[in-house]
Amino acid sequence: MADLGSISLALAVALAAYSAIGSGLGRLRRIPELLESSRLAVYVVVLALAVSVISLVGAFLTNEFRIAYVAENSNLAMERIYTWVAFYAGNEGSLLYIGFVLAAMSALALKLAPPRMQDFLPYTSMVLMLVLTFFLAVTYFMANPFSELSFTPSDGQGINPLLTHPGMFIHPPVMMAGLVAVAIPFAFALGALIEGKSGDEWVDSGRTWGIVSWALLGSGLLLGGWWAYTILGWGGYWAWDPVENAGFMPFVALTAFIHSIMVQKRRGMFRMWNIVLINIAFGLALYGMFMNRGGPVPSVHSFGASSLGWIFLMFTAIGVIVPFAIFFLRYNALKSRSTLESTLSREASFLVNNLLLLAIAFVTLWGVVYPLISEAFRGSVVTVAAPFYNQVNGPLMLALVFLMGVGPLMPWRRASPRTLLRALAIPAGVGVGVIVILRLIGIGEVYPLLAFGICAMVTTGIVAEWYRGTRTLRQQGNSYPLAFLRLIAGNRPRYGGYVVHLSVLLLVLGIVGSSFYEIQRDVVLQPGESAVIGEYRIEYVGTESSFRGDRTEFVSTLRAYKADEFIGEMHPQRAFYPDFQMSSTRASIRSTPVEDFYVVPSELSEDGSAGFRVFVNPLVWWMWIAGPMFMLGTVVSLWPRRASDSAPALDLASRRRDVEGITGAVGQTGSD
Amino acid sequence: MGHSGQGDVRAVNLTLRNGILPILLLGLFLTLSACAREAPPSLEGRAQSIDKQLICLQCPGETIDQSQVELAAQMRAVVRERLEDGWTRDQILQYFVDSYGEAVLAAPPKEGFSLLAWVVPPVGLAGALVLLLLVVRSMRVRGEPAGQDSEQGQMGEYLAMADAEMEGVGDGREGD
């Protein structure tokens, strides 16, 4: 197994390098045979890596502890299902995973590229294969998952207990795939740039793959939050941990990109800007992978002590500098097809959107590097953690959500202030109404009031737009449900985007609710005693322990009451893993749309008392609804159109408003 | 330019429904300014807001509010003791800085060199905003002459396109 895996990995390194060189040279010197063999080499790389992956899985399943990686990350007691997790639990396996995903996605992206991209596709392929060669070479030479021990241990060390949670089946692989997938839109942009194309040929594929990696990162981040919330036992889902930030920054930059690319798709503008954006996103993704592998900051996410840090840092630097150099060389090919006509237009609102998103990304980056700056200049260590990010990024995010309500109401090209005011009147009215009502029922803080008001405004804007469009189509003889589906099918990027916007609003609800109205208490209880937390009361019944091979589990039983009414038993758990000298907790959560009641064990004493940390977390339930909705919106906006791929998207309402904006003739299709 | 000026004049001539907006904004302002006076939070509330500002140095990145280790529990106890003795928030934070160094604070202080951490983001944002406005202006100036002349022609074309597409949707051409 080990030999087969190692040999096919070596083959993959060689072929990826060959394909990179062959693609570039073949295109430069116009050698069709070389191009063809380089193109086919990509598929062989995928095959070779598949063999490596299967060998490693096989080694896990057959307990080949002679392979160091298998011995470090599994043992005889490990349930077979966790092989999936053990595969990427360490540096070596996760690098192999990343290489395989990149190879497979590259092959797919190159295969699906439309005909008008064919002439620069070799350069795209070259970029992708260069990135792949880097990952595979590092895997093979520095972190080979197939390297063998000099002896065969009778049992392995076992899997890290923190990873044995359903969230860990999806969060890490999705995050890693998302980070590495940024390479694909980046390679499309860079390929077109090297060829000296004017700039619009790569846009459709760039957008599609940009959204794919963005959706992977977005759902990965949400799953990570969910995992932290149910496992880590501090009642939170996001800590602005340096590695969380490393995944968050490329996601934010990609969010800017997938908005801005729509302007290029529709209006042929922002050609240079989009290339800058995808370069930034790629640079941040490389940085994210660097942070995962021996970055300078300790974190729950680091892959142990890894010497790969410097290599990844150097590659990150190259991955940022070289593309920008090419960009400056090709600067002249990128003139916009049309110009910005008004500061009151969809185009301009996208620019503000990009500005805010990049600001969030750079504030986050600033927070990560500031401790290094402080140490270098004054020699004193400082910490930059949640309070900094909340204070600085909070207002930026709120402004962004506000823009989410205004931007989509703006027509392309030019809006008249009057039509814009008319379109905004109802949403803004609802927003302000919500703020006043919330104030009257006693919500006092400015931030939550503004946030809830803005959420109401944005929701109203979206619903009003859906209603108007549906009504128009309904007047043409469709039933309401059919009219609604037709509306969405008619412009998927737009209406899918709205669904994603709604999911963002749900996230905002959860974030604001839990950050401002969370109740937290530490209680220590003897059996029979009870404690009151807000409206809730818990009565401690007792704790039972049981031995389960690799761990001892302690399951506590508590009876929970709300307003003196029994609402059920709760069973927070703790497990102790003697091999790891490590314990893990699992919170017991009673989740309702209004609030979560959350109990996590903290300590057990000799005298029979038990400590618990108890939270009441308002509105968190909505955050986990946001996840599926986010995916739904993404799928809608990516769903391929039936006919050609190049026709401009049908954008009925906004096209109509384009016209109204130009003529100043306020429309009959307006809001009356 | 003349075109948008015309729009401005019309916008001033508000209809009754548009008139609701300023009234609502005024209401909003009054509501928010009423928020300034809030009841002072309880001792535990104040203690927890201090907990969130202090890092547990045994577990990087976690505040003592989150951490479950012994050190964090001790630090939480100290916070509550001092509050009961009548210490202010700043005094308590300073006490921990004196004993553990500046790294114990979850965010750099807004003074001295560390002010840099707080000043760079807003200054950078303001700079980027100015740059954006300049770019937008230069784009508009370049676009102006062509825009005026061709507007009528483009408009007709767009009207036709929009109408054609509305019919297209009605025919179910786009639906799956």
Q: Which tens digit of pLDDT belongs to each residue from A570-597?
A: 999 998 888 778 888 889 999 999 999 9
pTM, two decimals, is 0.87
Q: Which two tokens stand for residue A421?
A: 């005011």
Q: How far are the Cα atoms of A102, A123, A192, A538, A643 from residue A568, in angstroms, in the given order? A: 47, 62, 61, 10, 55
Say yes or no for a CB contact (<8 Å) between A380 and B101: yes
Contact between A459 and A495 under an 8 Å Cβ cutoff? The reply is no
The helix/strand/coil state of B114 is helix
Distance from CA of A382 to the nearest CA of B (A): 4
| pLDDT < 50 stretches in chain B | 1-17, 37, 144-160, 163-176
List pLDDT tens digits, range A460-490: 999 998 998 899 888 887 788 888 888 888 8
A586: Cα separation from own chain's centroid: 24
Please say if the pLDDT value at position A604 is more than 60. Answer: yes
* Cβ–Cβ below 8 Å for B61 and A476: no
Q: Which residues of A213-240 are buried (b: 16+ CB within 10 A; e: fewer)?
A: bbbbbbbbbbbbbbbbbbbbbbbbbbbb
Q: Which of A386, A473, A520 sits opposite B169 (nearest CB)?
A: A473
Mutation target to probe the B interface, by most B beta carbons within 10 A, among A418, A439, A443 is: A418
Q: How far apart are CA A261 and CA A353, in angstroms?
A: 12
**Range list of H helices, B13-114:** 16-33, 43-51, 70-84, 89-100
Q: Give the up-direction half-sphere exposure of residue B121: CA atoms within 13 A in the CB hemisphere.
A: 28
Q: What is the mean pLDDT of chain A?
A: 87
| Dist CA B21 CA A432 (whole Å) | 9
β-strand partners of B63: B55
Interior angle at CA A46, CA A45 and CA A47, nearest 5: 90
Which pLDDT band, with edges at 50, 70 and 90, does A653 fall under? very low
What's the confidence (pLDDT) of residue A293? 73
Residues of chain B with C-beta less than 8 angstroms from the C-beta of A336: 139
Report how far residue A652's alpha carbon sits from residue B161's, in angstroms, rounded to the nearest whole number: 10
Question: What type of residue is A55?
Answer: S
Does residue A620 have a pLDDT over 90? yes
Q: Indicate the residue of A387, A425, A520 with minimum beta-carbon distance to B17.
A: A425
Give B25's contacts in chain A (Cβ within 8 Å).
432
pLDDT band with cut points at 50, 70 and 90 for residue A636: very high
- Burial class of A354 by CB neighbour count within 10 A (0 to 12, 13 to 18, 19+): buried
Separation of alpha carbons A388 and A365, rounded Å = 12
pLDDT number for residue B5: 42
Strand A536-548 relative to strand A582-586: parallel, antiparallel, unpaired? unpaired
pLDDT score for A441: 87
Say what the pLDDT of residue B164 is: 47
pLDDT value, residue A444: 80
DSSP symbols for A393-459: HHHHHHHHHHHHHHGGGSPSS---HHHHHHHHHHHHHHHHHHHHHHHHTT---HHHHHHHHHHHHHH
| Sheet strands side by side (includes A519-525) | A519-525, A610-618, A595-604, A588-591
For testing contact with chain B, the best of A234, A339, A357, A523 (most B CBs within 10 A): A339
For the segment A234-255, the average pLDDT, to the nearest whole number, is 90
> Per-residue pLDDT tens for A416-452?
888 888 888 899 999 999 999 998 888 888 899 999 9
pLDDT for residue A490:
85
Q: Please report the pLDDT score of residue A423 as a whole number.
A: 85
Note the pLDDT tens digit of each residue in A28-86.
999 999 999 999 999 999 999 999 999 999 999 999 999 999 999 998 988 889 999 99
**Residue in B with minimal Cα distance to A360:** B121
Q: How many CB atoms lie within 10 A of CB A661?
A: 29
Q: Residue B106: its chain A contacts at CB < 8 A?
A: 383, 385-388
For testing the chain B interface, which of A351, A357, A375, A383 should be mutated: the one with the most B CBs within 10 Å?
Answer: A383
Report percent pLDDT > 70 for chain A.
Answer: 93
Q: Say what the pLDDT of residue B172 is.
A: 35
The DSSP element (H or E) to which A562 belongs, if any, is: strand A551-562
Distance from CA of B91 to the nearest CA of A (A): 18
- A336: confidence class by pLDDT, cuts 50, 70, 90: confident
Q: Which two tokens stand for residue B143?
A: 């676009």
Q: Which residue in chain A has the smallest CA separation from B67?
A: A234
Separation CA A5–CA A531 (nearest Å): 57
Q: What is the mean pLDDT of residues A161-165?
A: 79
**Smallest Cα–Cα separation from A398: which of A496, A495, A507?**
A507
Q: Which of A234-248, A528-542, A640-654 has the lowest mean pLDDT?
A: A640-654
Cα–Cα distance between A25 and A13 in angstroms, integer? 18
Contact across the interface for B161 and A655, Cβ inside 8 Å: yes
pLDDT of residue B148: 36
Q: Give the best residue of A382, A449, A655 to mutate against chain B (max B CB count within 10 A).
A: A382
Contacts of A475 (CB under 8 A, 6+ apart): none
Q: A446–B35: do the CB atoms touch at under 8 Å?
A: yes
**Residue B53 DSSP one-character state:** T
Q: Do B169 and A658 touch (CB under 8 A)?
A: no
Token duo for residue A285 = 């993704």
Compute the half-sphere exposure of residue A145: CA atoms within 13 Å on the CB side of its CA.
34
Give a three-class secondary structure readout of A500-524: HHHHHHHHHHHHHHHHHHCEEEEEE
CA distance B99 to chain A (A): 14
Scanning A147-294, the segments in alpha helix (DSSP H) are 167-181, 183-195, 203-227, 242-267, 271-292
